[in-house]
Amino acid sequence: MPAHPIRYVDLNVRDLDRSVDFYTRLLDLTEDSRSNRDGRRRAALSAGPATLRLQEIGATAPDSAWRADDLQKGFRHIGFKVADLDRRVAALHDEGVRFHLEPLDATGGVRIAFFFDPDGALLEFIQGDLDYHKVWDEGLVAAERAQPAPTTPRFDHVAVTVDRMPDTVDLYSSGLGFGVAGQLFHKSDPRGFEITYLHAQGTVLEVFTYTADKEETPWQVGTETPGFQGVAFVDPDPAAAIARLTDAGAKPAGSVPGLVTDRDGFPVRVEAQR
């Protein structure tokens, strides 16, 4: 099974111009294109190995029921690797960006900070290479550490909270060729917190698991709320990739072609290779 990297991250935004300004001016992403499809303005922003696709849904769109609580299953945040975290955080503060977690030295030997985009999607800056507590694949870890330090924020991962880590690993490995690089164990966290890192060609699914009780994801297909809407992969035969995912436990998301949700309600799209 060839590895299928995360190619796109899809976000709904209330004001496209505002969001493009945020991501290009403050995060140094590159605007690749704009379009107007199905009556919706859209923009594609390059973030290194993945592209952020923004879709405007209007100022009157209702708030999402998503909360910045890691015990809510499904999407948690989008992570960007940086080489100059504290300088970039200071610049965001100068612009009045709302923070969820100020910079700190975190488990795994990295420095992190969390903040929100204009529509409340949670973003992370991460600086440094992870020192895994348990290494599963030396080759994947070596490839991660061989990447040059980013000169501008580079897409690194999407984080998700799941119920059962082995089921999630099976789904993404058998369906999309992800491999497990390693794990971190947060032993002092009373919620029973572990992170498992699934890698595919420089893109990562950061899988949160807890022994504590969790809530179901509020995401539903066709929702017209701002924020995260899913990740997308490409394959020469999308139907075959979707079949692999459903065989591993994913569920079709209504009648939308190429869209499924994993066992924890996280939306995954497979598109044709262009």
- What's the pTM? 0.97
Whole-Å CA distances, 153 to 66, 177, 263: 25, 25, 30
Q: Encoding tokens for residue 240?
A: 């075959």
274 pLDDT higher than 80: no
72-81, 157-166, 188-197, 219-228: least confident range: 219-228
What percent of the chain has pLDDT above 90?
94
Q: Which run of H or E residues covers position 142?
A: helix 138-146
- Asked if residue 154 has pLDDT above 90, the reply is yes
- Give the pLDDT of residue 71: 98
Q: Which pLDDT band holds residue 223 (cuts at 50, 70, 90)?
A: confident
The closest alpha carbon to 188, from 126, 115, 72, 106, belongs to 106
116: part of which helix (H) or strand (E)? strand 110-116
pLDDT, average across residues 14-22: 98
Average pLDDT on 246-268 reads 93
Please give the pLDDT value at position 69.
96
Over residues 209-227, the mean pLDDT reads 93
Average pLDDT, the chain: 96
Please list the residues that pair with 111 across neighbouring strands.
105, 127
Contacts 24+ apart (CB under 8 A), 190-197: 191/71, 193/70, 194/165, 196/165, 196/168, 196/169, 197/130, 197/132, 197/157
Checking if the pLDDT of 42 tops 90, the result is: yes
pLDDT of residue 220: 87
Please report the pLDDT score of residue 257 as a whole number.
Answer: 87
145: which DSSP letter? H
Give the model's pLDDT for residue 254: 80
Token couple for 215? 């809530």
Q: How many CB atoms lie within 10 A of CB 135?
A: 14
- Residue 104 has phi, psi (to 5 degrees) of -155, 160
